[in-house]
Amino acid sequence: MLKVAKFELKKSRKRYGARSLLLILLAAMFSAAMGYASVLTGIDSDKGIYTANVRVDLGTFKLSEDSDVVLYDGKLFVGQNDKSLAAADELLKYLREEHRKRIEAEFGELAHPVRVSVVYLNPSKITPPRTKAEGGGVKNETESGQLNVNETEGSKQTSESASKTPAATTVTGGEMTANVTQVKKSSYVPPEDIKTPSLVDRMVLAFLFVIPSYFAVQVFSSSLLEDKLLRRLEVLLSAISRSDLIFGKILPHLLFSLLSSLAVSVYLGSYLAFLFAIPVILLLFSAQTFVVMISRSYREATFLLLVVSLLITIYAFIPAVFSTAIPLSKISPITLLIASVQGEEINLTDLSLSFAHYLIMASMLLYFSMKALNPDIAHGKEIFQKLVEISRLSVTSDSAAFILAFLSISFAFMAELFAVFMIFVLPRQLMIPALLVCVAAVEELIKGLIIFSSPTARRAFFTALGFFAGEKFLILFNVLQEYSIAFLGQFLVLPLILHIATALLIAFTAKFGYGRALMLAAILHAIYDHTVVMLLV
């Protein structure tokens, strides 16, 4: 493996040269730095877009006789067009801010006798208040709709020290309590300017951990594709094993990605944060390897590599946007990475499930890639035929079918989450039917590929049993708890009957064609799901 890694380094050095590699590295660092700086300082794209008849100490305005707004005799005159109205809003906002600064400089804190403090609560830490009643029962401390804010013991401070030190606060209201930290700032912010914490800066930080990996992955996939199309891999396989070949070619590029993430962690002062990027990086490398192995041409590989990279990026980063609203977002390591950088506490169960989810998919893709290192699979045949052939080489027993079906629930979950993202563009009355159809198609495709390795009733039964066990495993860890209606997760016997019935249908109709077998199973699955959801839920 080390010999292959050394050969890969020499090949990359010869292909790109030291100067080219340096330029690529500098370009990556410059892009990351510019992106980070643009978020912190903003992009000055609106400089001088408005005009006024007087000089305004604001970058968006410039002096002009033919102005958008006119200040005359203490009055503001606005034209009847959108640009003039926007200029007036910008100018009034500037004048209000200048007025606030002036009265604060003259009167100090007395300029704002009434102040409102904003406390941001973490939804995951909100728990209902419970106190012991006289009869041994439990009753709520507060009436619904009330909100009481009480300082805990030892947190009472003077107004002078409160502006410098965070105050621990207990918030109780409407059957909820949460310990939060309220940071009081000395500067006053008008209520209309109060904004919720933005995820943009944190998302940019998360991208800094992964962006260098995209360059390394592209170099790796290009090198692997070249070796495959020129049949160099077949020559190398005559001297080394498949695992040594795959891991040897990945190793130097993977080390570069990990070192880049580690450098970002050190720079941010969060030395272990790079660990959360490892599952995403491994999934990128394994997915690119698998795509190269099943591609028939350079054009096909280029398209698939781009699509796969985009899908993994969406799957890793989009859940992090909803990190404070949807518990399901913790399935992404990027969500945990952002929490780690922010110094938040990370649940061990969330950490284990997130890492296992990504590492299982990465391991399976690498395993399938090794099976695809076969001249009969690597060259020729359609992609679906290659997948069936890989299944035959991978699933050699009924127990292997059970294990593979159990682990493949990670891929089903990923595909179904994409389906959840896409159905929101549909009319409301079509959302649930569309989701059920997508779920049926994804699950039957995955089960069908395993059953096609040996289309027998026994193989179908073990495949259905393994897939059912994987679904219940996710329900056990509350991953699909909020979406159990769509996935029929709250039932035990019904999903098992469904999976066995569709698996047997695939096995018995496979002789008429794989496409027909999958279509019949998906139709039965969708009808069954729709009937159960409509009648029992």
SS3 of 489-515: the string is CCCCHHHHHHHHHHHHHHHHHHHHCHH
DSSP codes, 517-531: HHHHHHHHHHHHHHH
- Bridge partners (DSSP) of residue 61 are 50
Question: From the centroid of its chain, how far is CA 13?
Answer: 34
**Cα–Cα distance between 283 and 309 in angstroms, integer?**
10
Task: Indicate the helix (H) or strand (E) that contains 147.
Answer: strand 147-151
**Cα–Cα distance between 459 and 399 in angstroms, integer?**
9
Q: Which of 524, 446, 436 is nearest to 487 (CA)?
A: 436
Query: What are the structure tokens assigned to 438, written together?
Result: 């997508």
Query: What are the structure tokens assigned to 428, written together?
Result: 């409301």
**Cα–Cα distance between 188 and 115 in angstroms, integer?**
8
**Cα–Cα distance between 502 and 517 in angstroms, integer?**
9
Query: What are the structure tokens assigned to 262, written together?
Result: 């580690």
pLDDT at residue 458, as a whole number: 93
Q: Which of 404, 408, 402, 432 is nearest to 420 (CA)?
A: 432
**Cα–Cα distance between 227 and 386 in angstroms, integer?**
19
Pairing of strands 50-52, 61-63: parallel
**Cα–Cα distance between 46 and 89 in angstroms, integer?**
14
**Cα–Cα distance between 459 and 503 in angstroms, integer?**
9
3-state SS class at 184: coil
pLDDT at residue 400, as a whole number: 93
Q: Full-prediction pTM beyond 0.85?
A: no
Pairing of strands 167-173, 147-151: antiparallel
Q: Which of 93, 88, 97 is nearest to 70 (CA)?
A: 88
Query: What are the structure tokens assigned to 172, written together?
Result: 């109780």
pLDDT at residue 41, as a whole number: 56
Lookup result for tokens 């704002």: 112
**Cα–Cα distance between 439 and 420 in angstroms, integer?**
10
Q: Phi and psi at residue 369, in whole multiples of 5°? A: -65, -40
pLDDT at residue 345, as a whole number: 80
Question: How many H-runs (helices) and E-runs (strands) does the chain carry?
Answer: 19, 9
What parts of the chain have a pLDDT lower than 50?
131-186, 480-490
Amino acid at 44: D
Q: Which of 245, 267, 308 is nearest to 36 (CA)?
A: 267
Query: What are the structure tokens assigned to 329, written together?
Result: 């977002």
pLDDT at residue 360, as a whole number: 94
Task: Indicate the helix (H) or strand (E) that contains 78.
Answer: strand 75-78
Sheet holding 167-173, edge to edge: 147-151, 167-173, 177-182
Q: Which of 343, 411, 40 is nearest to 200 (CA)?
A: 40
Give how far Cα 61 sits from Cα of 48, 56, 69, Å: 5, 6, 10
Q: Is 72 exposed, middle or buried (0-12, 13-18, 19+ CB in 10 A)?
A: exposed
Amino acid at 524: L
Decide: 183 and 120 in contact? Cβ < 8 Å: no
**Cα–Cα distance between 475 and 477 in angstroms, integer?**
5
Amino acid at 204: V
Decide: 276 and 340 in contact? Cβ < 8 Å: yes
**Cα–Cα distance between 373 and 390 in angstroms, integer?**
10
Contacts by 446-449, CB closer than 8 A, 24 or more apart: 446/405, 446/408, 446/411, 446/412, 447/405, 447/499, 447/502, 447/503, 447/506, 447/521, 448/506, 448/514, 448/517, 448/518, 448/521, 449/387, 449/388, 449/391
